[in-house]
Amino acid sequence: EESIDKRRVHLRRDALRDPAPVSLHLLPCEVPVNRPTPVGLFFTPAIRLGPDGLEASFRGHSLRGEEVVVPPGFMGYVMTEEKAEVLVGKQKDHEREEQELVEPPSVPQALERDFDHFMGATASFSSFTVWGLLAAAIHAQVSED
């Protein structure tokens, strides 16, 4: 029974409303860790606007960047899964969440059970920067049209 419940993750509606805007960069390389890093110290201050768009470097490689916009009608969110113990610690939040769940009449009975996994949007975005290696971008084939 428990493993079945774990298949369901509840997304906090509150958090979707107005999360803070986030600065997002999609890099052309794999950094195999997830952790805080001083992006604002080593990366963003080095971004320049060159003749072909944004330029920056990472680990000694030149990068060229493009701002891409989230498709119309869509919104970007950075989601974070919350641990169960966080919920215990924030009892008040938890109660409010439950209340919201029960409130709409359309919620089926089965869903009134507690969700054991919660997810929140910690940030939102409407665009992000895609980075590619400068050399690759210069030598890329242009499209036929």
Partner 1 sequence: LTAESVRLSWALAFLRGASPLGWEGAIYLFNMCLPQLFEIKVFKEKNRSWFINESVQSGGLLHFATPMDPLFLLLHYLIKADKESFQGKFQPLDQVVMDDMFPDCILLLKLPELETLLRHVTEEKEIDKKKYYKYSKEKTLKWLEKKVNQTMAALKTNKVNVSARVQSTAFFSGGQVSSDKDEDYVRYAHGLISDYIPKQLSDDLSKHLKLPEPPASVQNPPSKKAKLSDEPVKAKEDYTKFNSKDFKTVKKNSKMTAAQKALAKVDKSGMKSIDSFFGAKHVKKK
Q: Which of 46, 84, 86, 111 binds partner 1 (CB under 8 A)?
A: 111
Contact 78, 122 (CB under 8 A): yes
84 or 111, CB closer to partner 1?
111
Contact 8, 114 (CB under 8 A): no
The residues in 25-44 that bind partner 1, with binding defined as CB under 8 A, are 25-40, 43
What count of other Cβ atoms lies within 10 Å of the Cβ of residue 48?
11
Maximal C-alpha separation, the chain = 59
Please report whether residue 91 would count as binding partner 1 according to CB under 8 A.
no
C-beta of 33: minimal distance to partner 1 in Å?
6
26 or 84, CB closer to partner 1?
26
Q: Is 64 helix (H, G, I), strand (E, B) or coil?
A: strand
Residue 73, Cα to own-chain centre: how many angstroms?
17
Q: Which amino acid is at 106?
A: S
- Site of interaction with partner 1 (CB under 8 A): 4, 7-11, 13, 16-17, 22-40, 43, 52-53, 61, 66, 68, 71-75, 77-79, 100-101, 103-104, 106-108, 110-111, 115, 119, 123, 130-133, 135-137, 139-145
